[in-house]
Copies of this chain bind each other. A is one copy, B any other.
Amino acid sequence: MSSQPPSFEGDWYFEAERDGFAHGVHLRERILEEQTPFQHMEIVDSEPLGRALILDRALQTSLNDEFMYHEMIVHVPLVTHQHPDRVLVIGGGDGGTLRRVLQHPVKEPTQVEIDRAVVDACKAHLPEISDGAFDNPRARLVIGDGVQFMRDNPGGFDVVIVDSTDPIGPAVQLFQEPFYRDVARSLADDGLMVAQSSSPLFMADELSDQVKQLRKVFPIVRTYLGIVTGYPGGLWSYTIGSKRYDPTVIDQASITSTLRDRGISTRYYSGAVHHAAFALPPFIADLVA
């Protein structure tokens, strides 16, 4: 048994393993490393993903795969809701979510991000991801705690997008029932929320639990899937909690025409991909049953 792993020449970033699975990227440059008041932050330049943001040793987003994640966490809910005027983003410090929100005819979207250092670093080193969204006069950025923001219950939102880190560290409360109750209270009678909901392959328990929490609060709960190259295992999930609109019953042609009418071009999302994303393989459907 003499076989050796391939030698990894040069500088590599390996993500903390999950369940004995590890993945890593070859680095061209380590651009920034900083302990913020909330989390450990790195920005690197990598061969497969380009420049990338890493928080608490988990790769969050990169120039090369950000479109996969941001198109799916934004366009699915904003096409599902029939008139998404008032949109709130919790987290999303890289600005990729806000940028896609602004592609829709929303009024004054608000973003609440807890860590100013993430916004500043992403504006400085990953400006292609927000593409000017933070400077858009329609957008309002609040540096603050999303949990407290929802507890203060501003009210009247059509769509709330929870674009957070994983359910460990500063984001843990964003995955629990009390937060979801506050979100539901702040939503209009036909409002809906979406949250990233972990890896069905390596965080199956977290996904199951999150869906259970959402079911306590929302009558319609739907999990959907997408690929994000830099995430462990490649497969990622998102879950919608909705008071009225069911994302699985929208006509595919109407999605296509909505995207066209709004002038939104995409690289991952489409009307066909919208419906395909909700077709869960049975072993994943069992996790959220």
Contact = CB atoms under 8 A, between A and B. Distances in A.
Interface of A: 1-3, 5-6, 8, 12-17, 19-26, 30, 33, 40, 42, 46-48, 57, 67-68, 201-202, 227, 229, 233-235, 266-270, 272-273, 275-277, 279-283
Nearest to A1: B30
Contact of A22 (B24, B30, B40): B24
A159 to B, nearest CB: 22
A233 B268 CA distance: 16
29 contacts: A1-B30, A1-B33, A5-B12, A6-B16, A6-B57, A8-B14, A8-B17, A8-B22, A12-B22, A14-B22, A19-B47, A20-B26, A20-B47, A21-B25, A21-B47, A21-B229, A68-B281, A201-B227, A227-B235, A229-B233, A233-B234, A234-B234, A266-B282, A267-B282, A268-B283, A269-B281, A270-B282, A273-B281, A275-B279
Given A3-B40, A6-B15, 7 more contacts: A1-B33, A12-B22, A14-B22, A17-B26, A21-B26, A268-B281, A270-B282
Copies in the complex: 2
A19 B19 CA distance: 24
Nearest to A252: B279
A23 B25 contact: no
Contact of A6 (B6, B14, B48): B14
A50 to B, nearest CB: 10
